[in-house]
Structure 1
Amino acid sequence: MSRQWLKLVLERLPGLTFGSVDGFPSDSVNLLSTLSAGERGTGITPSQARDLMRNRVELLFRVCNRNEDVYRRLRGDPAFYYLVLASWDAEHNEAPFPAGSIEKLVSLFVSARRHNLGGDETGPATALMREIDRFAEMADAVDSTVAPRRPPSLTAPTGFNAARLYGRAWPPVHLSPLEVAVVGEAVTRRKLFGIDREHKGRDDDESTPLYPNDQNGPLEGREYLCWLVLTGTGPASRVGLFPVPVAFADDERRRVWYRPMGHQSRFYATVGEFLDFADAAISRPSGLKSSAKRHAICLLTPWFFDRAELAERALERSETLPTVWRKTFFRAGMALVLTDVDDGEYRAVSDLLGKVGQKFTVVETWTGGRAQNHVPPPAGPRRTAADSVEASAEFITEIVEDPGSWNEKLEERGFELVEKPTEEQGTGSHIQ
């Protein structure tokens, strides 16, 4: 879309003043153009493009405002936009936007609204204007106040007995901003609200959730990982557990699977997002709420099929693409662990060395292996042995519960040393 066309679209949005489109950076032009575009190859008028943009952005701000308690708990931390990524079920050609792009988009519209209010234009407020004003008011309130000594709890789901918390904040105050944002997502919050190290089950039921398996979707993986974060980590924990299953190498892969998966790809994370989390967790200075981590872990659940094969199977079975993906594109399970060694350097694992090496310096690489004390999965409706996703979840659980000994006797547990990289490999902290 040309800048001139975009200008025609933006001028049709009442209550917003974007200024000169010619001065916009290219990434902002791309974001706004995507929101005002129809299906690829279809021609639309500027007014139709305006309607598409208005509806999509109005939904975006409704999502932000619906999660006001998370925004206030995080005090506007960029991690909030990981929650918006999962909750903004947008339908456009570049969905889902990564969290950083969503933050930039919100800022663009808030600035346009502020510029408009500073001018002479008047008129009745539209639904979009009201949503932006509400968010801006919330952001201003956070920016103008001092953080409370006791972080507020998130809003409890309807029917939850708040007395169970006994005055404790939920989620616990030692969780990182990203962890708060992920457990605050609506579906996960409904299932896990109130769970912590003292209360490990719902409604006083202390049973452990089943490990996710290779036929589960991303929400089941999120539920288990978040449960493990809530029940297995504390302020002094040396384990940073990434609370989202990782299925994509990058944002582009997550985007191209968005529609074939029925928009479910927004609940999965990318390798880069985990590495950013690991970098922050391991390098975090110890403080009153949480200490720096020695281990950063994620659950990898990719699948090794392409979209052409999905389309072919869907045609053969006369089923929708999301249904065929769910039923037949089983996920593979792996765990990626980054460990800080005693001398302050770091160590890493697997075929992901290329991406890991962009942020860390790899000292050793081990692959394979098994849990030290394997426990067969509980009897369930599938009546099958543990698959690779379940086995990986068990391995991750073992590390969270006993982080001090996981990387001892690696060879006895079936691990193989792949390589010892040269000193030139990698540019960041040292990991195993």
Structure 2
Amino acid sequence: MSSDSAILIANPKPCTMKPSRLLGKAIRLMDGFVFESIDELCAAPDSILTPFVKDKIEGIEITPEEARDNLASRVKHAFLIFVQEEDVYRRLRGDKAFYHLMLANWNSDHSAAPFPPARMKELMNLWIAARRRYLVANEHTEACDATLDLTVAVDQAISIIDDIDSTLPTRRTLGLNPPNGLKKAACWPPKHFGPLDVAIMAETATRKALFGVGNKHLMDEEDVPLYPNDQDHPLTARKFLCWLSLAETKPTSKASLFLAPVAFITHEERQDWYKITGHKSRFYATVDEFIDYARDEFRKTGIESKNYVMCLLTPWFFEKSEIVADAEKKDRPIPKSWEKGCFRAGMMLRINRVREPNTSPEYQVVLFKPGLPHYHSVAEPPARRAKQDVWVDRLLDELSAMFSPQEGWIGGAVRTHTYPNSRNCGLDSVEVSSEVIETVMRDPSTFPSTSDEFDTRGYTPIERYSGSQ
């Protein structure tokens, strides 16, 4: 059982207390914290604390003390991660991107898991503010045993935050600490990477695999990550994307690569798949997060300005009931059926900025979507193509709302394929899309730029864009 798991109650009785009332009683037992408007906080429909008393303990009778301990344990775990990632917080000087790392590292199983980054920040700020009020009101900070560990963790976080807030930024970029057993690097990730890039690279497994790698410090060829495939763990895709960006991105690069595979249109969908995926959905990004990233990249000017931004799309077009039925049929855990039987559909999304002198930017969208007639073996099966079409339409809706593209292309094919097959089976769409991304990162000139080139390479116009021909 994880350190932030819900408390299991032996011989449970039916619960007669509303979650909001139980939560209020639990919070009032939190010695060492002073919350404002407890009744309003607990009764709010979207209260950030209610999920911690609703999850596994909903429907059974527990005491307010047990609810308090359960809440304190889960929140403490979040603050311990915060403290553990102090070097990242210092590198980013508290930038909101830090909470993308918290999303990845806080594996909490509650009724609203996982929290999106903004919600994660809201949770931390709530407890920090409550602790500050207590410290102002009380000369001594003794707390009862039930919350002592939590107050210590929150105090450590406050110390880090106050130290950052009280110091001026310097020209020197702080490197992250090396994982155990590795030597400290000069500055890793290199200083030309932005806050969200750093937050994704700092995830524990990714940092361990890639620490020290950069454009001037390449990995040994035998250690270079293979293309992720349609059954791989999302951290495998993250490692590949991070390695590729570290190896190919220079301070003057005009391309940006989003470093997390995008599998969901909205965060609510990521939450919906949290349990089915064995909590792995938290390692996938949403279309909204990619759009925010692309928008920020296109705002850069001067030597840092970007001409295009890319991402790897890895959604899937299965129903949760299919995964559960497969797990029952094969007598294996549901997350294993998701990983091995819920094949991801790989695509590559690229947004190009087309700017004429003294004009507002215009945008072109290119969606590499391997399928018929160029890729018979990697195309989505007929039973799932309609769902893929719906997903793509929703994706294009989101892009239209933010960028109002003047032109778009969909489909496509690689010019040549030389990547060795490592699984004794045919290539899948995730591998092919990863190959396209790597090819473009290594040599941007290989990507089509004119209507004739797009047509020759198997792309067709996206008709919703008025500029399409």
Give TM-score scaled by structure 2 length: 0.84
- What's 1:376 paired with? 418
Please say if 1:388 is aligned against 2:424. no
Matches within 5 A, 1:183-198: 183-198=201-216
Match of 2:272 in 1: 256
Contact 1:200 1:206 in 2 (8 A): no
Q: 1: CA distance between counterparts of 2:43 and 2:236? A: 38
Residue in 2 that maps onto 1:15: 32
Mapping of 1:28-39 within 5 angstroms?
30-39=47-56
Question: Offset at 1:29?
Answer: 5.2
Structure 1 residue 413 corresponds to structure 2 residue 457:
yes
**Number of the residue aligned with 1:220:** 236
8 Å CA contact 1:249–1:272 kept in 2: the answer is yes
Instruction: State the Cα distance separating 1:161 from its structure 2 match.
Output: 3.4
Matching residue of 1:70: 88
CA deviation map 1:147-191 (0-9, x unaligned): 2212111111122234xx4xx311000001000000001000000
Instruction: Name the structure 2 match of 1:329.
Output: 342
Q: Which amino acid aligns with 1:215?
A: Q
* Cα distance in 2 between the residues matched to 1:377 and 1:263: 31
Alpha-carbon deviation of 1:38? 3.3
Contact 1:363 / 1:420 at 8 angstroms: preserved in 2?
A: no
Stretches (4+) displaced over 6 A: 25-28
Aligned match of 2:102:
84
Residue number in structure 1 paired with 2:183: 161
CA distance in 2, matches of 1:160, 1:412: 48
Is 1:180–2:193 an aligned residue pair?
no
Offset, 1:136: 0.6
Report what 2:410 is aligned to.
367
- Aligned AA (2:23): L
Equivalent residues in 2 for 1:93-132, closer than 5 Å: 93-120=111-138, 122-124=141-143, 126-132=148-154
Taking the aligned partners of 1:366 and 1:62, their CA distance within structure 2 comes to: 46
Specify the code of the residue in structure 1 equivalent to 2:306.
K
Structure 2 vs 1, CA of residues 363 and 118 (structure 1 numbering), >3 Å: closer, same or farther?
same
User: Is the alpha carbon distance of 1:150 and 1:122 closer, same or farther for their aligned partners in structure 2, counting shifts above 3 Å?
Assistant: closer
In 2, Cα distance between the equivalents of 1:25 and 1:233?
47
The corresponding residue for 2:329 is: 316
State how far apart, in whole Å, the 2-side matches of 1:13 and 1:369 are.
58
Q: Is residue 31–residue 143 contact of structure 2 (8 Å, CA) maintained in 1?
A: no
User: What's 2:377 paired with?
Assistant: none
Aligned Cα root-mean-square deviation (Å): 2.2
Point out where structure 1 has 5 or more consecutive residues left out of the alignment. Answer: 424-430
AA aligned opposite 1:157: P
Deviation at 1:331?
1.0
Distance in 2 (alpha carbons) for counterparts of 1:365 and 1:337: 10
Question: More deviation in 89-98 or 399-408?
Answer: 399-408
Correspondences of 1:207-356 after superposition (within 5 Å): 208-286=224-302, 291-343=304-356, 344-348=361-365, 349=367, 350-351=392-393, 352-356=395-399
Secondary structure class of the residue paired with 2:311: strand
Judge which range, 179-188 or 254-263, deviates more.
Answer: 254-263
Could you tell me whether the CA contact under 8 Å between 1:199 and 1:206 is conserved in 2?
no
Identical-residue share of aligned pairs (%): 39
SS in structure 1 of the partner of residue 169 of structure 2? coil
Counterpart CA distance in 2 for 1:155 and 1:419 is: 49
> Partners in 1 of 2:24 and 2:318 — Cα distance?
41
Whether the 8 Å CA contact 1:63–1:88 is kept in 2: the answer is yes
TM-score by length of 1: 0.91
Q: Deviations over 1:86-129 (max 9, x none)?
A: 00010111110000100011000000000011113742470100
CA gap of 1:25–1:277, structure 2 versus 1, over 3 A, is: farther
Q: Which residue of 2 aligns with 1:136?
A: 158
Q: In the TM superposition, what is the alpha-carbon distance from 1:384 to its structure 2 partner?
A: 2.5
Cα pair 2:20 2:43 within 8 Å, conserved: no
Counterpart Cα distance in 2 of 1:281 and 1:113: 37
Match of 1:426 in 2: none
CA distance in 2 between partners of 1:377 and 1:336 (Å): 21
Q: Given the superposition, is the C-alpha separation of residues 19 and 404 from structure 1 closer, same or farther in structure 2, using an over 3 Å criterion?
A: same
Q: Is the 8 A contact 2:27 2:68 kept in 1?
A: yes
List gaps (5 residues or longer) in structure 2. Answer: 1-17, 368-391
- Which AA in structure 2 matches 1:265? S
Contact 2:23 2:42 survives alignment (8 Å): no
Q: Are the structure 2 counterparts of residues 295 and 45 from structure 1 closer, same or farther at C-alpha, using a change threshold of 3 Å? A: same
Deviation of residue 3 (structure 1)? 4.9
Q: Quote the offset at 1:387 in angstroms.
A: 1.2
Query: Cα offset for 1:284?
Result: 2.2
How many residues align structurally?
414
TM-aligned CA deviation for residue 375 of structure 1: 3.2
SS of 2:83 mapped into structure 1? helix
Question: Shift of the alpha carbon at 1:22?
Answer: 4.4
